[in-house]
Amino acid sequence: MLNWKLLLLVSVIFKSQMAGETAVQAPSFFDDKHTLSIHGRVVNYTQNNENSFIQFSTVSAAGIKKDTSIYIDKNGTFTANLPHLYSGDFTCSYKGRFYTFYASVNEMLELTIMGDKSPKGNMTENISCKGKYTELNRLLFDYNVLLRKHHFNTNVDIGNKKQNDAAFCRTRIKRMTEEMAFLDSFTHRENKADGTFKIWAANDIMYSAANDILFFPFAGKLNTTIDFPVLMTYLATIPVNNKTAFGNTTYYLFLRNFSRVIQQIVNLNPVYQREIRDNGMDETGIYLKKIDELSSGLSKQVLYYDLFLSVRPQQVDPFLNSYYRVVTDTYLKSIPGKRPANAAAGAKRFNVVEKIKQYKVDDTLKKKLADIFAAESGKTIFIDFWGSWCAPCMSEMPHYKKLIDSYTGKPISFIFFGVDTPPENAREIMNRNGIEAKYFSLNNAEIAILTNIFNFSSYPTHLLIDKNGFMHARPWSIFENGVITDTVKETINKLL
């Protein structure tokens, strides 16, 4: 049973939805011209390879996380200009500490972080953020510290595969209820806790739970039994449509995951195979039908947007008329025409060595990277950024030997960049899978430089550099059922 405190908070959220409906439905709710400027300083700063960058993470309207690493100069100062499509939260990490902020679009923030001599205890002693939402951010810092320290009666073990789907979802909803009660207690103690904070925090709790609920039934298994009525039962009182949640990154992640789950259910559950056959063996129409049934308003537009970005253009292009009929937000409406034509496209062309050399950091931080790429001059380079902690990365490893062997004697180098993986572990993994290729372990500064230059945030990431040293392609996937995809094979062969 959900307690009265949870029901009250959900009631507050829905009342706020009705009040804010007109504002959210505005044609230009999202705008890619919106940015967030941050001027910051690390106090008591001494530069080294492990603290030369501070990382900020934003989430797009499609629920795609964008990590931006910003160089901290020797004086401890830094400036960041981040994409910020909507007023809402973003995160910052520095030396293993994670902070959540709330900011409006086109805002300028002043950020101060204590360095190596920072005091322990209250997070507000370690960081200060001045801007439009100074007080709200102070509440966020205190709230997140206390939330992490609080002992909840219900423990959620998302890695325990012995529990069935329904049992896990009930447990996760119970934990969500306890977290809502904690939020209620916190806001009563904080007399200055305003409505923006309360609604943001309640939505963050709900959609963090919802993302776990969407993940668990499909983690490590082909779930052929779950259908849409069951899925909505698992989500319980968590709404798909929530006009107050467009300032929460967890909500955009939820909508992205919800879109993926719709696709998985339609493709895996035999109940929907007849619908697919009746639809000319085209699943896309069924995906859109389910989105129409389960969502409305701007939430539906974002789900359409996510679907049209995630599915191959040739599969969704016949439904563009439906897209333009449903999607009225001017930013979301412009996206279909910006999609890459195929999986190997979409990479900006630049000379890699030159870009590394021009990158504005101390020369000692980038020399190794420039030397690695310069040494491969005249060869095509295949790059894999991976880590032993990354399940998709590890699933690719057994297939690399066959790929690399097929290009023996050809002017191509295979380079594996290890992220957060000890060299001895990486070598053991590569040897176990028979991978004969170059391996380089990256420190934090090198990771930050390369993720910025190549503009990626997720792993594994694969890149192709041509024989003249220019960035050529970023394949979406390398293997299909253990075999290199035709698109990637054709791209490599054209470069040789």
- Listing DSSP states for 206-225 in one string gives HHHHHHHHHHGGGTTS---S
Q: What is the mean pLDDT of residues 225-253?
A: 95
Q: According to the model, what pLDDT value does residue 339 have?
A: 56
Q: Which residue has the higher pLDDT, 372 or 346?
A: 372
Q: Are 247 and 200 in contact (CB under 8 A)?
A: yes
Q: Which two tokens stand for residue 226?
A: 């779950």
Q: Which two tokens stand for residue 170?
A: 């009930």
**Average pLDDT, rounded, for the chain:** 86
39 vs 41: CA distance, rounded Å = 7
Q: What is the mean pLDDT of residues 251-255?
A: 97
Residue with tokens 């259910």: 265
Q: What is the mean pLDDT of residues 61-70?
A: 90
Q: What is the mean pLDDT of residues 205-217?
A: 96
At 118-172, the pLDDT tens digits run 444 445 567 889 999 998 998 899 899 899 999 999 999 998 888 999 999 999 9
59 vs 89: CA distance, rounded Å = 9
Indicate the range of 208-217, 249-258, 268-277 predicted with least confidence. 268-277
Q: According to the model, what pLDDT value does residue 457 have?
A: 81
In 3D space, the residue among 94, 101, 23 whose CA is nearest the CA of residue 59 turns out to be 101
Length of the chain: 496
Q: Which two tokens stand for residue 327?
A: 């999607």
141 vs 146: CA distance, rounded Å = 9
At 426-469, the pLDDT tens digits run 999 999 999 999 999 998 889 999 998 998 888 899 999 999 99
Q: Are 57 and 89 in contact (CB under 8 A)?
A: no
Q: Are 31-132 and 352-495 the same fold in CATH?
A: no
Q: Which residues contact 11 (CB under 8 A, 6 or more apart)?
A: none
Regarding beta strands 479-480 and 471-473, do their DSSP bridges make them parallel or antiparallel, or are they unpaired?
unpaired
Res. 174: pLDDT tops 80: yes
Bond from prior residue into 460 cis (ω within 30 degrees of 0): yes
382 vs 400: CA distance, rounded Å = 11
Q: Kindly report whether the global pTM for this prediction surpasses the value 0.85.
A: no
Domain boundaries, the chain: 31-132, 165-338, 352-495
Indicate the range of 3-12, 126-135, 289-298, 386-395 predicted with least confidence. 3-12
Q: What is the mean pLDDT of residues 92-115?
A: 89
In 3D space, the residue among 262, 277, 270 whose CA is nearest the CA of residue 228 turns out to be 262
CATH of the domain spanning 31-132: 2.60.40.1120
Three-state SS at 84: coil
Residue 478's pLDDT band, with cuts at 50, 70 and 90, is confident
Other CB atoms within a 10 A radius of the CB of residue 141 amount to: 21
Instruction: List 239's β-bridge partners, or say none.
Output: none
In 3D space, the residue among 107, 88, 90 whose CA is nearest the CA of residue 246 turns out to be 88
Q: According to the model, what pLDDT value does residue 325 have?
A: 92
CATH of the domain spanning 352-495: 3.40.30.10
Q: Which two tokens stand for residue 97?
A: 């500490």
